[in-house]
A = this chain, B = another copy of it.
Amino acid sequence: MSVPGLSINLATVRKQWNMREAAEACVRHGITAIAPWRDQVDAIGLDEAVRVVRDLGLQVTGLCRGGMFPAATAELRQAAIDDNLRAIDEAHALNADCLVLVVGGLPGTRDIEGARMMVQDGIEAIRAHAAQAAVKLAIEPLHPMYAADRSCVNTLQQALDMAGAIGPEIGVAIDTYHVWWEPGLADQIARAGHENRIFAHHICDWLVPTRDLLLDRGMMGDGVIDLAGFRAMIEKAGYHGPQEVEIFSAQDWWTRDGDEVLRICIERFQSLCAARQD
Q: Which residues of A contact B (CB under 8 A)?
A: 106, 110-112, 116, 143-145, 147-149, 152, 154-155, 157-158, 161, 180-183, 206, 208-210, 213, 223-226, 229
The CA-CA distance from A152 to B181 in the complex, in Å, is 7
The CA-CA distance from A154 to B178 in the complex, in Å, is 13
Given A112-B180, A144-B144, A183-B157: A213 and B209 interface contact (C-beta under 8 Å): yes
**Can you report 10 A-B residue pairs in the complex whose CB atoms are below 8 A from each other?**
A110-B229, A112-B181, A112-B226, A147-B181, A148-B181, A152-B181, A154-B181, A154-B182, A161-B183, A209-B213
Interface of A is mostly: loop
Distance in Å from the Cβ of A256 to the closest Cβ of chain B? 24
Q: Which of A161, A183, A208, A224 has the most CB of B within 10 A?
A: A183
Chain B residues with CB below 8 A from A110, complex form: 224-226, 229
Q: Which of A152, A208, A224 has the most CB of B within 10 A?
A: A224
Which 6 A-B pairs give the minimum distances between C-beta atoms?
Answer: A147-B181, A110-B226, A158-B183, A145-B145, A144-B181, A148-B224
Nearest opposing residue in chain B for A147, CB measure:
B181
Distance in Å from the Cβ of A98 to the closest Cβ of chain B? 23
Distance in Å from the Cβ of A158 to the closest Cβ of chain B? 4
Distance in Å from the Cβ of A141 to the closest Cβ of chain B? 10
Chain B residues with CB below 8 A from A144, complex form: 143-145, 181-182
Q: A147-B181, A154-B183 are in contact. List 16 more A-B contacts (CB 8 A).
A: A110-B224, A110-B225, A110-B226, A111-B226, A112-B181, A143-B144, A145-B145, A145-B210, A149-B209, A152-B181, A154-B181, A154-B182, A155-B183, A209-B213, A210-B213, A213-B213
Chain B residues with CB below 8 A from A206, complex form: 148
Q: Is the CB of B183 within 8 A of A148?
A: no
The CA-CA distance from A113 to B7 in the complex, in Å, is 29
Nearest opposing residue in chain B for A146, CB measure:
B181
The CA-CA distance from A158 to B110 in the complex, in Å, is 24
Nearest opposing residue in chain B for A183, CB measure:
B158
The CA-CA distance from A149 to B181 in the complex, in Å, is 12
